[in-house]
Amino acid sequence: MPISSEIFNIPNLLGFGFALKAFAILFAVFYVIFGLVIFRQTQLMAKALPSAISPFLKFIAILQIGTSLALLFSVIGVF
Amino acid sequence: MDLDEPQTKNPLATFATKPVGITFESQEEGEQILLLLRPHVATLIPAILVTIFLILVPIILNSFLLAFNLEITFLTSGQSFLLSIFWYLVVFAYAFYRFLFWYFDIYILTNERIVDFDFRGVLNKEIAFATLDHIEDISPKTRGFFGTLFNFGDVFVQTAGTTPEFNFRRVPNPDLVAQKILEQVRGEEEEASGDANK
């Protein structure tokens, strides 16, 4: 039994694709902000307590920002 | 666990005596880290279980749809793929966040003082110090099933300083931690009385 978007009654107003795109962009924007906050937090923590894995943690935090930006641009382009 | 064991090289250690490669902000010249503590690994179990569950959610959902012969027609394959990426990014963010706050939840005993690093919530840093001569009372507490099973608990340190009480939360070997702090406090007292007698 196929589940169609009509079940959710979303497409009647704006179209399901549009709603999904709006959600995706909003999500990606929030994720970019979250990534920036986590990066700053990692910097603060690593400054207070430098350790062997601090550079690695900072790298992960940067990677997260990069991924979120890539996602944001791809969301704008994909749909 | 022998406290007099040599330097700990493991950067993820929860009970590290004289840890190698670790310094901290405002560490004074000649000040040596004797003991570095972070919450016991067992305290990460709920976060690990939640992460595993979140990783499995799309797989479970997919199995459910297949089992009931349901088919999602309103999403293109590209959209489904993107939603999966969203999901796993959220899972990764959650896991990374939890790890970060566990890793940097640190308590330090040096030859001069005790230090408590508090990073509660995002972009919030609080560091509390108490010199050894200000420490008045130390009480280790092991509570609950998991605390007893994995031997972790809280160590309450009462001081005469601006921060009246330090709470080393869910650290491994609380009795040993209290003993080590007490040894340092006694050493400091003997040093001070020796200086006074001169």
Least confident piece of the model among A18-32, B34-48, B95-109? A18-32
Q: How far apart are the C-alpha atoms of B133 and B84, rounded to whole Å?
A: 56
Asked if pLDDT for residue A74 goes beyond 70, the answer is yes
Give the one of B21, B82, B123 whose C-beta lies nearest to A41's C-beta: B123
Q: Hey, what are B94's tokens?
A: 């959650």
pTM (two decimals)? 0.84
Tell me the per-residue pLDDT of B121-145, one tens digit each, with 9 for 90 and over. 777 788 888 899 889 899 999 989 9
End position of a domain, from candidates B55, B75, B100: B100
The band of B158, judged by pLDDT with boundaries at 50, 70 and 90, is very high
ipTM > 0.95? no
String of DSSP letters for B43-57: GGHHHHHHHHHHHHH
Mean pLDDT of chain A: 82
Residue B30 belongs to domain spanning? 15-39+105-197
Q: How far apart are the C-alpha atoms of A30 and A46, rounded to whole Å?
A: 24
Beta bridge pairs of residue B117: B127
Q: How far apart are the C-alpha atoms of B83 and B141, rounded to whole Å?
A: 46
Give the one of B69, B103, B123 whose C-beta lies nearest to A37's C-beta: B123
Residue A32 belongs to domain spanning? 18-78
Tell me the per-residue pLDDT of B83-99, one tens digit each, with 9 for 90 and over. 888 899 999 999 999 99
A5 touches A48 (CB < 8 A): no
- A interface with B, Cβ–Cβ < 8 A, is 1-5, 11, 16, 20, 24, 27, 31, 34-35, 37-38, 40-42, 44-45, 47-53, 57, 60-61, 64, 67-68, 71, 74-75, 78-79
If asked whether residues B72 and B140 sit together in one domain, one would say no
If asked whether residues B62 and B131 sit together in one domain, one would say no
For chain A, the C-alpha Rg in angstroms (whole number) is: 18
Mean pLDDT of chain B: 87
Q: How far apart are the C-alpha atoms of B141 and B154, rounded to whole Å?
A: 5
Q: Is residue B8 part of a domain?
A: no
Asked if pLDDT for residue A6 goes beyond 70, the answer is no
CB contact under 8 A, A45 and B78: no
Q: Is residue B6 part of a domain?
A: no
Q: Residue B175: which of B198, B154, B144, B197 has the closest Cα?
A: B154
CB contact under 8 A, B123 and A57: no
Q: Is residue A10 part of a domain?
A: no
Give the one of A3, A11, A57 whose C-beta lies nearest to B100's C-beta: A57
The band of A15, judged by pLDDT with boundaries at 50, 70 and 90, is confident
| CA torsion angle B174 B176 B178 B180 (round to 10) | -150
Q: How far is B109 from chain A (nearest CA, A)?
A: 14
Tell me the per-residue pLDDT of A25-60, one tens digit each, with 9 for 90 and over. 999 999 999 999 999 999 999 988 888 899 999 999
What residues contact B178, with CB distance under 8 A and at least 6 apart? B138, B139, B140, B155
